[in-house]
Structure 1
Amino acid sequence: MKLAYLALAGSLFVYSGSTAQAPIVKLQLVTDQVRSPVCMAVPGDGSNRLFIVQKEGRVWVVQNGKLLPEPFIDVSGEMVKVNPAYDERGLLGMAFHPQFRTNGRFYLYYSAPVAKPAKGLNHQSVLAEFRVNKAADNKAEPGSRKVLLQFDQPESNHNGGDIVFGPDGYLYIASGDGGGGGDKHGAAGNGQDLGTLLGKILRIDVNASPYRIPKDNPFARTAGARGEIWAYGLRNPWRISFDKRTGRLFAGDVGQNKYEEVDIITKGGNYGWRIMEGYHDFNVPSGADKSKLIAPIHEYDHDDGISITGGYVYRGRAIPGLQGQYVFGDYNGKTWALQQKGGKWQRNELAFDNKPQGNVQLLSWGQDEAGEIYMLVTIPQGGGVVKGLVYKLVK
Structure 2
Amino acid sequence: MGTLKILSLAWVLFLICCDLRTDIQSPTDTIRNDEYELDRAFPNLTFDMPVELTSAEDNTGRIFVIEQRGTIQVFANADDVKQSAVFLDIESEVSSGGEKGLLGLAFHPEYETNGYFYVNYTRSAPLETVISRFKVSASNPNMADPKSETILLRFNQPYGNHNGGKLAFGNDGFLYISTGDGGSGGDPKNNAQDRSVLLGKILRIDVNNTTGNFAYGIPADNPYAGNKEGYREEIYAYGMRNAWRFSFDRQTGTLWAGDVGQNKIEEVDIIEKGGNYGWRIMEGNECYKTNTCKTDGLKEPIWYYEQGGDTGQSVTGGFVCRDKHLPGLEGKYIYGDYVTGNIWALTHADNKAIKNERIAKVVGGLSAFGEDHEKNLYVLAYSSGKIYKIVSVK
Common fold, TM-score beyond 0.5? yes
CA separation of 1:360/1:349 partners in 2, compared to 1, >3 Å: closer, same or farther?
farther
> Partner of 1:99 in structure 2?
110
Moved more, 367-376 or 238-247: 367-376
Task: Name segments (4+ residues, structure 1) moved above 4 Å.
Answer: 283-286
CA RMSD of aligned residues (A): 1.8
Q: How far does residue 221 in structure 1 lie from its aligned partner after superposition?
A: 2.2
Q: Retained in 2: the 8 A contact 1:22–1:321?
A: no
Deviations 1:313-359 (CA, angstroms, capped at 9, x unpaired)? 0001111101001000001211101111466313433334xx66xx5
What residue number does 1:88 align with?
99
State the number of aligned residues. 349
Q: Distance in 1 between matches of 2:390 and 2:82?
A: 18
Equivalent residue, structure 1, for 2:315:
308
Q: Check if 1:256 corresponds to 2:257.
A: no
* CA–CA distance in structure 2, aligned partners of residues 277 and 192 of structure 1: 13
**1:222-263 CA distance string (max 9 Å, x none):** 221000000000000010100000100000000000000000
Matches within 5 A, 1:305-344: 305-332=312-339, 333-341=341-349, 344=352
Rounded to whole Å, the distance in 2 between the matches of 1:104 and 1:341 is 38
Q: Judge conservation of contact 1:35–1:389 (CA < 8 Å) in 2.
A: no
TM-score by length of 2: 0.85
Inter-partner Cα distance in structure 1 for 2:290 and 2:208: 40
Gaps of 5+ in 2: 1-32
2:76 and 2:216 map into 1 onto residues whose CA distance is 32
Deviation for aligned residue 1:370: 1.6
Residue matched to 2:198: 197
Partner of residue 74, structure 1: 89
Equivalent residue, structure 1, for 2:209 = 208
Taking only the aligned residue pairs, the percentage that are identical comes to 45
Q: Does 1:148 align with 2:159?
A: no
Greater shift in the superposed pair: 242-251 or 27-36: 27-36
Distance 2:136 2:58 in 1: 13
CA distance in 2, matches of 1:283, 1:203: 31
2:296 to 277, 291, 295: 291
The aligned counterpart of 1:171 is 175
| Structure-2 residue corresponding to 1:390 | 387
Q: Give the alignment partner of residue 129 of structure 2, picking from 125, 140, 144.
A: 125
Offset at 1:27? 1.9
Change (3 A) 1:179 1:350: same
TM-score, scaled relative to structure 1 = 0.85
2:36 alignment partner, SS class: coil
Deviation, 1:106, is 0.1
Structure with more relative contact order (C-alpha pairs < 8 Å, separation 6 or more): 1
Q: Distance in 2 between matches of 1:360 and 1:97?
A: 31
Q: Could you list the runs of 5+ residues in structure 1 that have no partner in the other structure? A: 1-20, 118-122, 380-386
Partner residue, 2:237 = 231
Query: Secondary structure of the residue that 1:241 maps to in structure 2?
Result: strand
